[in-house]
Structure 1
Amino acid sequence: MRLTHRILAALAVILLAVGLTACEGGEAQPSSRAKENKSRNSNYDRLVAKQPAATLDYSPTRATKNFWIETWGKSSTKLSYVYLQNANGQYGYYILKGLPVTYCVSLLPPETASRLDLGSDGSAGVVLQAPSMDGTYSSQSNCTSYYGQDAESGAYVEWSVGANQSYFLYSEPMDLPQFKDAVPLGKTKISDVKQ
């Protein structure tokens, strides 16, 4: 039964590829889509010839990413200070062990793949998501809910952003005027943390 499904899936892929090839090359009159694709590609080629992409000698984006890795990649005992602002402009804060994490971050890849035997080499190529530098994957869904571990008690804390609530993350407590009256939302207070 499984082999039959695989054979049918392989045939469907082959028929789809043959059908797409026939549609693009076999028409006497090019389709509107083919004309638009040709126009887009020729316009892109013309623009690249006139304005090629510049190259960098230094990447500020990579430098900032490396700063993130240096800041957070050494130990889970590093504290993060999360300030939340509600719709009324009031602030609260959490102090967490390590960084807050969204529900869209996973330790396992969000997709799976099975081999599809098509050719003499025995397989067809499949592109899968690679892990990020911190060894995690993203499902790209439910990225507005965050969670973490309270620094002193170890309690689980969770919050959502959006719908008139936003958050600000720092690697140390902030003495900005807007945070002056921020109230602790977890068990840990700024006064509890040894600086």
Structure 2
Amino acid sequence: MKKHARMALAAVIALVVGLALASCTSDSSQDKENKRKQETYDHLVAEQPAVPMQYSPTRESINQWIKTWGKRGKLSYVYIQNAKGEYGYFIMKGLPVPRCKMLTPTERVETYSEGVAVLSQPGMDGTYTSGSTCNAYYGFDATTGAYMEFTVGTNQSFFLFDQPMTMPEYASAKQLGPSSVKDVEKKQ
């Protein structure tokens, strides 16, 4: 074998051995880091175990939400604040619904020999939706049943209550839908 060929072969072998060692080292370093994180976690859990809760305020709030909104005919008082800080309101039957909510699955999972794919499904109206519709809400007016839709986002917020608000900023809110607080009070 000629001198240049031997040097080239030696360089290739050195490169292969070097890469093999480097990969062992990086795997070894990663393994050490993972082991260190696990040891730290185990130590902290032993020294500071999670205390079991005797009571869950979160569960109580969820149950209260269900009791409040799980009634047929329950009204929503939706106050909208615009960029100028002005308020308006709608009164709706039930809760406002984000347009991205569906009654049917929005995705289906297909399994292939190469893996899994998550595929979009059309909605009940035969069309596809995107997450961009989640800032649009709809519902129906409390006394007329008229369809209403509004969006929130840039410089506009909404506040939802299960009864009319009397605080000053809400008391002067402009009626935005067909029903007024007085209309609803007469009907009840």
TM-score (norm 2): 0.70
- Cα separation, partners in 2 of 1:33 and 1:145, compared to 1, 3 Å: farther
1:142-195 alpha-carbon deviations (Å, 9 max, x no partner):
332211111111111111222111111111111111112211111111110125
The alignment status of 1:88 with 2:84, answered yes or no, reads: yes
Q: Which amino acid aligns with 1:52?
A: P
Whole-angstrom CA distance in 2 between matches of 1:40 and 1:109: 39
2:107 partner SS:
coil
Name the counterpart of 2:184: 193
In the aligned structure 1, how far is the partner of 2:38 from the partner of 2:106? 33
* Structure 1 residue 30: Cα displacement: 4.0
Structure 1 residues 162 and 37, CA, compared in 2 at 3 Å: closer, same or farther? farther
Give aligned-pair identity as a percent: 49
1:134 alignment counterpart: none
1:154 to 145, 149, 172: 145
Q: Distance in 2 between matches of 1:117 and 1:78?
A: 50
Matches within 5 A, 1:1-195: 28-31=24-27, 33-75=30-72, 77-115=73-111, 141-142=131-132, 143-194=134-185, 195=188
Q: CA deviation at 1:140?
A: 9.2
My pick for the range that moved more, 62-71 or 43-52, is 43-52
The 3 A distance-change label for structure 1 pair 140 and 39 is: farther
Whichever structure has more helix as a proportion of its residues is 2
Return the alpha-carbon distance in structure 2 between the equivalents of residues 37 and 105 of structure 1.
Answer: 40
- With structure 1 as the length reference, what TM-score do the two structures score? 0.68
Using the alignment, how far apart are the partners of 2:112 and 2:77 within structure 1?
A: 48
2:38 aligns to what SS in structure 1?
helix
Shift in CA distance, 84/33, structure 1 to aligned 2, threshold 3 Å: farther
1:83, distance to aligned residue in structure 2 (A)? 0.4
Counterparts of 2:179 and 2:48, CA distance in 1: 54
What residue ranges of structure 1 are gaps of 5+ in the alignment? Answer: 1-26, 119-123, 126-138
CA distance in 2, matches of 1:171, 1:44: 44
Q: Which whole-Å CA distance do the structure 2 matches of 1:53 and 1:168 have between them?
A: 36
Q: Which has the larger radius of gyration?
A: 2
Q: Which residue of 2 aligns with 1:133?
A: none
The DSSP-based 3-state class of the residue aligned with 2:131 is coil
1:29, distance to aligned residue in structure 2 (A) = 2.5
Cα-Cα RMSD:
2.7
The AA in structure 2 aligned to 1:172 is: Q
Query: Which is strand-richer, 1 or 2?
Result: 2
Unaligned runs of 5+ in 2: 1-22, 117-128
Figure out how many residues of one structure are paired with residues of the other and give that number.
Answer: 152
